[in-house]
Amino acid sequence: MQTHFSLTINGQQTAGDAGQFDVLNPATETVVASAPLASVDQLDQAVEAAAEAFTSWQHTPDAERQALLHSIADVIAANANELAEIIVLEQGKPMFLAHAEVTGAVAWTRYNADLPIPVDIIEDSEHKRIEAHHKPLGVVASITPWNWPLMIAIWHIMPALRTGNTVVCKPSEYTPLNTIRLVELINQVLPAGVLNVVTGQAEIGGAISSHPGISKIVFTGSTPTGQRIMSSAATNLKRLTLELGGNDAAIILPDVDVDAVAEGIFQTAFLNMGQTCAALKRLYVHDDIYDALCNKLVELAQAQVVGNGMDAEVTFGPVQNANQLKIVTTLVDDAKAQGARILCGGEQLAGPGYFFPPTLVADITDGTRLVDEEQFGPVLPIIRYQDVEEALARANAADVGLGGSIWSADIDTATQLANRLECGTAWINGHAEVLPHAPFGGCKMSGFGVEFGEQGMLEYTRLQVININK
């Protein structure tokens, strides 16, 4: 892995005017590398470079942009090992999951490359033709979180480039290295200024939100930060796509085969150590199968190998940062104080690193912080219910609505219940599955706008109607 990391502005690598900051390995609490600390002036330079590049990039022939995205996918694939290593060192996930993230990034890039930009014909009569075209917006800012640093950057960047926009990226200060390297690699393919990266902390994020030269912000992260972005973006009526926090509920009906569904429930709850926006975070289980499912989930949790993601045998890495570990610990301690039963895990492991084993909490219900608040970590509360209508009401009582799921052997019944979940995506016999061709977004306090598929791509465009009198 390289040891020197720089900003990329107008195709050039440059040091941060405001100095540097250390990036820690969450498995060892040691410094991985230093990242450049950009100044607001350097953000202005990046936006200016992107705006200048937009004047020509927006007119690049569609087929050429498609070919360039495929070239980007080639470059990512050729550097997969390096990118995966950076992910593990700064984010903490096991190596197999980091490689899956890189593989997914390549596939997502190719999907966007091949996605056509539609021209909708509203009328085509003897005397009139009306066409609806989708035009790029200008400079798009991408603000990404620390849980999937490569994949979410790709989710933001590729549809923006595909539709003719230019981009300024601002990754999380916890995991900036992967995005820095990704932008360097992509700049081997793209014209200067089309894709830029600035790294820093709250000052840079705030300056992006209110920057008059930015036409759109796509943000993945917490609801409070999304609210601040939305407020600041009003200065020039920026377009926004906000994918914010969730507290996804799953309802397990009594007709399921416990042995058949337990693995899927466990993996979608503890995906990336539970640090996934759409992970299963509240598990409502019918009384008839409650104890059996709890026991099976404990078996799966205790089979995990917790440790440094660079070790080949590890299946479960650390919490990414000390602040998030404190949140997880606080919620578990509160659950214990409220009388909940810890089935396994429940405490930070001794030694260096932010390790918290997969933790299952039973005999808990709504009104406890661990159920009502998003834990975003390796802890799953398991709530007993007897009446499915009661479970549905509990699931919908949250002020967030990203995802939810129903698990049942009866697909018709499950579909009827899924239609009543108040969330952006409702899965049946699964959870947390995001696909490049299926729009994904939340409702309520989980944000607005969608990503993925044609609908997600078109969020990076404005509509222009061409009205032709023949």
For 253-340, strand residue ranges (E) read 282-286
Say if CB 335 and CB 367 are below 8 A apart: no
Q: Which helix (H) or strand (E) holds 8?
A: strand 7-9
User: What is the Cα–Cα distance from 470 to 240, expressed in whole angstroms?
Assistant: 37
> How many CB atoms within 10 Å of residue 184?
19
Measured in degrees and rounded to the nearest 5, phi and psi for residue 342 equal -85, 115
Whether the Cβ atoms of residue 197 and residue 8 lie closer than 8 Å to each other? yes
Residue where the block lists tokens 């007119």 = 59
- CA-nearest of 248, 253, 319 to 281 is 248
**Cβ atoms < 10 Å from Cβ of 76:** 22
- Could you tell me if 270 and 97 are in contact, meaning their C-beta atoms sit under 8 angstroms apart? no
Residue listed under structure tokens 């002036």? 41
Cα angle for residues 149, 191, 202 (degrees, 5° grid): 35
DSSP helix/strand/coil, 132? strand
| Three-class DSSP category at 469 | strand
Catalytic residue among 90, 173, 243, 451: 243
In the annotation, is 344 catalytic? no
277 is catalytic: yes
Helix (H, G, I), strand (E, B) or coil at 213: coil
For residue 274, give the DSSP letter. Answer: G
List the catalytic residue out of 169, 277, 294, 423.
277
Helix (H) or strand (E) holding 447: strand 447-448
DSSP, collapsed to helix, strand or coil, labels residue 382 as strand
Tally of CA atoms within 13 A in the half-sphere of 446 that contains its CB:
25
Residue 33's identity, in one-letter code, is A
Name residue, tokens 């009661």.
390
The two three-digit tokens of residue 131, written as one number: 């066409």
Q: Which two tokens stand for residue 268?
A: 């979608």
* Beta carbons within 10 angstroms of residue 274's beta carbon: 24
Cβ-based burial of 44 (10 A; exposed 0-12, middle 13-18, buried ≥19):
middle
CB 132 within 8 A of CB 161: no
Tell me which residues are annotated as active site: 243, 277
